[in-house]
Amino acid sequence: MSDQPAPAGTDRPALVELDQVSKYYGNIRALEGVSLEVHAGDITCVLGDNGAGKSTLIKIIAGLHQHDAGTFSIEGEQTRLANPREALDRGIATVYQDLAVVPLMPVWRNFFLGSEPTTGSGPFKRLDVRRMRETTRTELLRMGIDLRDVDQPIGTLSGGERQCVAIARAVYFGAKVLVLDEPTAALGVKQSGVVLKYVAAARDAGLGVVLITHNPHHAYLVGDRFILLKRGTMSASHTKDSVSLDELTRQMAGGSELEDLRHELERAPAPTHLGGPEK
Q: What is the pLDDT of residues 206-224, one digit of tens each?
A: 999 999 998 999 999 999 9
Residue 158 lies in a domain: no
Output the pTM of the full model.
Answer: 0.81
**pLDDT per position as a tens digit, 74-116:** 998 999 999 998 999 999 999 887 777 888 999 999 999 888 8
- Domain around 188: 16-104+174-260
Q: How many domains does the chain have?
A: 1
Cβ-in-10-Å burial (0-12, 13-18, 19+) of 277 comes to: exposed
Residue 277 lies in a domain: no
**How do beta strands 77-78 and 69-74 pair?**
antiparallel
Are 237 and 225 within 8 A, CB to CB? yes
Secondary structure percentages of the chain, helix, strand, coil, to 5: 35, 25, 40
Give 67's contacts (C-beta < 8 A, 6+ positions apart): 18, 21, 22, 23, 31, 60, 80
Residue 4 lies in a domain: no
Residue 27 belongs to domain with CATH number: 3.40.50.300
In three-state secondary structure terms, 206 is coil
Residue 183 lies in a domain: yes
Residue 46 lies in a domain: yes
Number of helical H runs and strand E runs in the chain: 9, 12
C-alpha closest to that of 31 among 3, 72, 2: 72
Residue 93 lies in a domain: yes
**pLDDT per position as a tens digit, 116-174:** 888 888 888 898 999 999 999 999 888 878 887 899 999 998 888 888 898 888 889 98
**How do beta strands 43-47 and 208-213 pair?**
parallel
For 131, the enclosing helix (H) or strand (E) is helix 129-142
Is the backbone of residue 249 left (phi > 0), alpha (psi -120 to 50) or beta? Answer: alpha
Residue 98 lies in a domain: yes
